[in-house]
Amino acid sequence: MKGLSFGGSFHWAWGFPLTAMGYSFGYHNWEYYLVPRGSLGRGPADYETDIHIAYPIRFGGARRLEAIVDVFNLLNRQAIRQYDQRYNLVSDGICAGVPDAICNGDGGVATTGNNLIPAGALSDPRATATNPDFLKAGINFTGQRSIRVGVRLTF
């Protein structure tokens, strides 16, 4: 099969750093790092591979038709890439799961004085989280296998 060509790619990445994110009622979003980023470990590693196959068909001088097949997500893992890091939910109320002694009044950990040094820490975020999906449910997943078939006309 003269002219048949193959190509491929592979990627592998460390998992996302896991942390406990607190809800800010002032910003209406999970804005607060309740523990240092990544201190709860890492999520699952992400890896996948894609392939490309092309075969040229010559006709009429310099004209060429090329049949192409691309396969994306060849391994078809469909795995979790990222876990739910929301420590608490809006419905839980302000400072849910954060001890009153260190709560800043908006869902985060208070600081000491006029700096960014936390006034305390959550002792065991996995045990005290009010969100039942905290670091258990997936929120981002790898895609399913897909195949693209095409032709390219060159003249």
| pTM: predicted TM-score of the whole model, two decimal places | 0.77
Identify which of 9-13, 59-63, 103-107 has the greatest average pLDDT.
9-13
Residue 62 has pLDDT above 90, yes or no: no
Domains of the chain, by residue range, sit at 5-154
Q: How far is 124 from 63, CA to CA, in rounded Å?
A: 68
Residue 22: pLDDT band (50, 70, 90) is very high
Residue 58 has pLDDT above 90, yes or no: no
% of the chain at pLDDT higher than 70? 99
pLDDT value of position 111: 87
Q: Which amino acid is at 81?
A: R
Tokens describing residue 137:
């449910």
26-35, 53-62, 73-82, 86-95: which range is least confident on average?
A: 53-62
Q: Exposed/middle/buried for 20, CB within 10 Å: 0-12, 13-18, 19+?
A: buried
